[in-house]
């Protein structure tokens, strides 16, 4: 068990509250707090309203009764009822200043009535009843005390009923908030859950992820980012597969030639064996250059174009293939226009592309091999041509792995075209044949100081064309 960012991790899973639960708890908690904030003061106000209403009713009846008695009707309880009948549910009793009941209804002794000897109006709960005590003053002396009272239970019951109604309304509000929270939480959590499932599928190798429109900007942005990442990873893995296949093809041919040459050397005399060893060393050197270029291409995870001088590039390509062309009894001619700007491309990629074109001219072509560089306005065209009949079919067929007749091409040319496109260039068959010409178009950099026109030379092979 370990902890990451405050989450407890058990195995591969996270233990903690979900987004759905957090959203629901948050909304319900906020709603409950809002209900409490409004209902608690309202409940207190309702309690005071019912209490004050009952007290006001008792005070009115007590004051009317005391006024009647102070007008000379003392000792006549029937007079009280006649002058001002008490309100519904209100009972009236007359007490002496010592708190003893004289007539009317109420307890025999009332401490509240005795407290009104000071001539003030008193109120309170006495014996389970809400009572108001009004003194009867005659000649500046408290002669009697009127006690108006009603049972406290009806007032408490009315208050409790109002409280229950407020509680029911609050519960309904919280329940509606919980329902709304459940729907909102589902709307928020469901896209994230599907996003998590898609991310797990991406980790399992499924790159067919399509972004969903959820109506939530952040979730839509995450979907779009995941789909874009899936597409890039899929394209990257597909490119790596094609590259691995192409690399195996590029290495297999020179390696086979090297092995066959060494095997043949075993049956030759000393002089022939020496020439075979020289050829094997040259092939091994060429194979090493190819491996180095392929490794550089494989390491270029983040593509960054190089500034490649065209003159030096042509001379290096000619150096690599001069001996092989000479051994085949053919001639290599290099022509470079004066003042060509450098090109913006990976040097390793350009070397692989031109190497493939030179090998194609050597294996499938005839006669003189021509390597040239010309200015085409916004870029530079590196061209390889020979005197052969040229490839069969249209210009794009040579860059496919399967011909129209069902036979397979090598994958050197398709790899060369894909490398050219990755460098922002274009590889095409400018002239199908006879005397075919392949052209690699690369974007030019800012022009540098012009080079001498004769800097590129014609490099003859070891023997000339027939």
CATH of the domain at 449: 3.30.565.10
Q: Which helix (H) or strand (E) holds 101?
A: strand 101-104
Q: 89 with 211, same domain?
A: no
pTM of the model: 0.46
Q: Could you tell me which residues are beta bridge partners of residue 374?
A: 381
* Domain assignment of residue 8, yes or no: no
Q: Torsion angle, CA of 252/253/259/261, rounded to 10 degrees?
A: -170
* Domain assignment of residue 249, yes or no: yes
* Domain assignment of residue 1, yes or no: no
Residue 460: what pLDDT?
Answer: 38
Give the chain's domain count: 3
Q: 257 with 319, same domain?
A: no
pLDDT tens-place string over residues 194-235: 878 888 887 777 777 787 787 778 778 888 888 888 888 877
* Domain assignment of residue 136, yes or no: yes
pLDDT tens-place string over residues 298-337: 665 445 567 888 888 888 888 888 878 887 888 999 999 8
- Residue 2 pLDDT > 70, yes or no? no
DSSP result, 317-354: HHHHHHHHHHHTT--EEEEE-TTPPPEEE-HHHHHHHH
Give the tokens for residue 145: 């005390």
**Structural domain of 98:** 19-199
Q: Which of 107-121, 393-407, 409-423 has the lowest mean pLDDT?
A: 393-407
Residue at which a domain ends, from 181, 199, 217: 199
- Residue 339 pLDDT > 70, yes or no? yes
Give the tokens for residue 240: 């790596």
Kindly provide the residue ranges of all beta strands, DSSP E only, lying in 349-388, ordered along the sequence. Answer: 369-375, 379-385
Q: 311 with 450, same domain?
A: yes
* Domain assignment of residue 338, yes or no: yes
For tokens 């691995």, the residue is 244
Q: 268 with 417, same domain?
A: no
Q: 146 with 44, same domain?
A: yes
Tell me the average pLDDT across 282-307: 66
Q: What is the largest CA-CA distance in the chain?
A: 162
Q: Contact 101/114 with Cβ under 8 angstroms?
A: no
Q: 234 with 280, same domain?
A: yes
Mean pLDDT of the chain: 78
For tokens 């549910």, the residue is 89
Q: 35 with 63, same domain?
A: yes
Q: 27 with 82, same domain?
A: yes
- Residue 457 pLDDT > 50, yes or no? no
* Domain assignment of residue 455, yes or no: yes
* Domain assignment of residue 10, yes or no: no
Q: Which of 64-73, 301-310, 407-416 has the lowest mean pLDDT?
A: 407-416
Pairing state of beta strands 369-375 and 332-336? parallel
Confidence of residue 10 (pLDDT cuts 50, 70, 90): very low
Residue at which a domain ends, from 283, 299, 315: 299
Q: What is the CATH number of the domain that holds 85?
A: 3.30.450.20
Residue 384: what pLDDT?
Answer: 93
Q: 190 with 251, same domain?
A: no
**Higher pLDDT pick, 115 / 190:** 115
Q: Which of 25-34, 362-371, 398-407, 448-457 has the lowest mean pLDDT?
A: 448-457
Residue at which a domain ends, from 199, 220, 238: 199
Q: Which long-range contacts (CB under 8 A, 24 or more apart) does 179-185 make?
A: 180/27, 181/23, 181/24, 181/26, 181/27, 181/28, 182/24, 184/23, 184/27, 185/19, 185/20, 185/21, 185/23, 185/24, 185/27
Q: Which helix (H) or strand (E) holds 114?
A: helix 111-115
Question: What's the CA gap between 236 and 76, in Å, rounded?
Answer: 111
**Higher pLDDT pick, 167 / 272:** 167
Q: Which of 93-97, 146-150, 279-283, 330-334 has the lowest mean pLDDT?
A: 279-283
Q: 378 with 319, same domain?
A: yes
**Higher pLDDT pick, 279 / 420:** 420
Q: 293 with 336, same domain?
A: no
* Domain assignment of residue 13, yes or no: no
- Residue 176 pLDDT > 90, yes or no? yes
CA distances from 429 to 31, 223, 377, 397, 402 (A): 73, 42, 19, 10, 17
Tell me the average pLDDT across 100-108: 88
Give the tokens for residue 17: 């509250």
Residue 21: what pLDDT?
Answer: 83
- Residue 292 pLDDT > 50, yes or no? yes
**Higher pLDDT pick, 115 / 252:** 115
Residue 71: what pLDDT?
Answer: 66
Q: 189 with 273, same domain?
A: no
Residue 455: what pLDDT?
Answer: 40
3 state SS of 186: helix
């Amino acid at each position: 068990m370990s902890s990451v960012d405050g989450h407890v991790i058990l195995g591969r899973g996270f233990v903690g509250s979900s987004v759905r639960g957090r959203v629901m708890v948050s909304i319900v908690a906020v709603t409950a707090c809002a209900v409490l904030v409004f209902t608690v003061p309202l409940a207190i106000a309702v309690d005071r309203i019912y209490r004050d209403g009952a007290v006001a009713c008792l005070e009115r009846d007590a004051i009317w009764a005391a006024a009647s008695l102070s007008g000379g009707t003392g000792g006549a309880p029937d007079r009280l009822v006649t002058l001002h009948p008490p309100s519904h549910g209100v009972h009236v009793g007359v007490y002496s200043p010592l708190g003893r009941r004289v007539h009317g209804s109420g307890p025999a002794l009332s401490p509240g009535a005795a407290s009104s000897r000071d001539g003030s109006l008193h109120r309170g709960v006495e014996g389970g009843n809400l009572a108001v005590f009004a003194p009867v003053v005659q000649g500046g002396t408290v002669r009697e005390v009127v006690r108006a009272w009603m049972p406290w239970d009806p007032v408490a019951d009315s208050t409790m009923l109002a409280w229950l109604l407020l509680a029911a309304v609050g519960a309904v509000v919280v329940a509606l908030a919980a329902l709304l929270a459940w729907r909102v939480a589902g709307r928020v959590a469901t896209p994230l859950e599907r996003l998590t499932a898609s991310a797990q599928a991406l980790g399992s190798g499924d790159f067919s992820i399509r972004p969903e429109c959820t109506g939530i900007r952040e979730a839509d942005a995450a979907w779009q980012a995941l789909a874009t990442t899936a597409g890039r990873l899929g394209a990257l893995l597909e490119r790596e597969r094609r590259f691995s296949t192409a690399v195996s093809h590029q290495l297999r041919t020179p390696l086979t030639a090297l092995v066959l040459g060494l095997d043949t050397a075993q049956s030759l005399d000393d002089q022939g064996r020496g020439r075979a060893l020289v050829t094997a060393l040259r092939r091994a050197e060429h194979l090493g250059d190819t491996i180095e270029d392929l490794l550089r291409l494989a390491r270029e995870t983040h593509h960054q174009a190089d500034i490649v001088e065209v003159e030096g590039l042509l001379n290096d390509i000619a150096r690599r293939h001069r001996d092989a062309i000479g051994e085949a009894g053919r001639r290599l001619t290099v022509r470079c226009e004066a003042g060509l700007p450098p090109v913006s491309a990976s040097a390793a990629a350009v070397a692989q592309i031109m190497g493939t074109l030179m090998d194609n001219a050597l294996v499938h072509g005839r006669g003189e091999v021509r390597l040239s560089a010309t200015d085409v306005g916004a870029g530079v065209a590196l061209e390889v041509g020979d005197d052969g009949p040229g490839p069969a079919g249209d210009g794009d067929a040579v860059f496919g792995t399967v011909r129209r007749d069902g036979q397979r091409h090598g994958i050197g040319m398709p790899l060369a075209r894909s490398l050219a496109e990755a460098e922002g260039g274009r590889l095409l068959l400018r002239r199908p044949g006879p005397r075919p010409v392949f052209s690699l178009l690369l974007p030019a950099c800012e022009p540098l100081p012009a080079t001498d026109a004769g800097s590129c030379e014609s490099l003859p092979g070891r023997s000339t064309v027939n």
